[in-house]
Amino acid sequence: MKKLFTLILSAAFTTLQAQHKLTKLWETDTLAVPESVLPSIKDNFLYTSLINGGATDVDGNGSIAKVSLNGKIINANWVSGLNAPKGLGKWGNKLYVADLKEVVVINTVTGKIERKIPAGGSVFLNDIAVDNKGVVYVSDTRVGKVYRIRNNQAEVWLENIADANGLKAIGNDLYILSGTKLIRVNQNKEIKTIAQGFAKNGDGVEQLKSGDFVVSCWNGLVYYVSASGKIELLLNTQDSKINTADIGLNSEKNIIYIPTFNHKSIIAYQLSNK
């Protein structure tokens, strides 16, 4: 009976045969280690975090770039002087940037840094999500925590989330990539596994209008994840040594924007059915 139960459980999370595909649309010129992409569709550009060094270096070399929706670099140093910027989130005219042990708040109108919010006990702040009330969540992959920022103050909201990385706020729930799992956490901090079985630790997560998801893993893997939790491999660039870091999504056109980290570009793909 135990063996039968195990087989049934594993079947629930098996990888689907390919039903969707990614078609490359364009690739940018060289960017200095792009980690995260946040589309601003109404403004016709992408915000992109550029580490420009090591992922843990406190060197002031990091920046936020603007890239057009057709892949042209508008400004590689729209905001400079950061360290190793990663995840991005936006609320109103505030852009939130995860930068090692603090969240940097940038005024999107002026391009000026307004403040830096320290996250006590953090080591490696990674991804950011903003919910529909403007509450900011930021993951720390190294210590397995998710911080919550309200009134410009950071507090630990969730602990013991292994390899916490990609975040997506949907309604009252927060979706988190935890190692090889996608989990959902409600406001009572009750956790449910939505999908599991990613070959590598997840990096970015976006939800499609259908309710399904696209998940990237830094090593060069991108998955389609159905709302029921079944996963389908869309892209494998590991042999080409092209990373697939914290993705962005144009949900109206189903275009996925992939920052390629050490490959130093952003690649746009059209997602479609096979």
Average pLDDT over residues 24-50: 98
User: How do residues 136-187 score in pLDDT, each as one tens digit?
Assistant: 999 999 999 999 999 999 999 999 999 999 999 999 999 999 999 999 999 9
Q: What are phi and psi of 11, to 5 degrees?
A: -65, -30
- Measured CA to CA, the distance from residue 69 to residue 268 in angstroms comes to 9
Report which of 181, 147, 120, 140 is spatially closest to residue 56, judged by C-alpha positions: 140
Using CA atoms, how far residue 249 sits from 36, 38, 64, 207, 254, in Å, is 11, 8, 18, 8, 7
Residue 15: pLDDT over 90: no
Model pLDDT, residue 18: 79
Measured distance between the N- and C-terminal CA atoms of the chain, rounded to whole angstroms: 38
Q: In the structure, what pLDDT confidence band is assigned to residue 33 with cuts at 50, 70 and 90?
A: very high
Q: Which two tokens stand for residue 240?
A: 């080409």
- Measured CA to CA, the distance from residue 244 to residue 186 in angstroms comes to 28
pTM: 0.93
Domains present along the chain, CATH in parentheses: 15-273 (2.120.10.30)
Report which of 240, 234, 205 is spatially closest to residue 219, judged by C-alpha positions: 240
Residue 114: pLDDT over 60: yes
Model pLDDT, residue 1: 42
Q: In the structure, what pLDDT confidence band is assigned to residue 16 with cuts at 50, 70 and 90?
A: low
- Measured CA to CA, the distance from residue 14 to residue 236 in angstroms comes to 17
Percent of the chain having pLDDT more than 70?
Answer: 94
Residue 269: pLDDT over 50: yes
Report which of 226, 158, 169, 216 is spatially closest to residue 194, judged by C-alpha positions: 226
Give the list of residues 6+ apart from residue 188 with CB closer than 8 angstroms, or none. none
Average pLDDT over residues 38-49: 97
Q: What is the chain's mean pLDDT, rounded?
A: 94
Residue 12: pLDDT over 70: no
Residue 19: pLDDT over 60: yes
Model pLDDT, residue 254: 98
User: How do residues 214-250 score in pLDDT, each as one tens digit?
Assistant: 999 999 999 999 999 999 999 999 999 999 999 999 9
Model pLDDT, residue 11: 37
- Measured CA to CA, the distance from residue 229 to residue 14 in angstroms comes to 9
Count how many residues are written for the chain.
Answer: 274
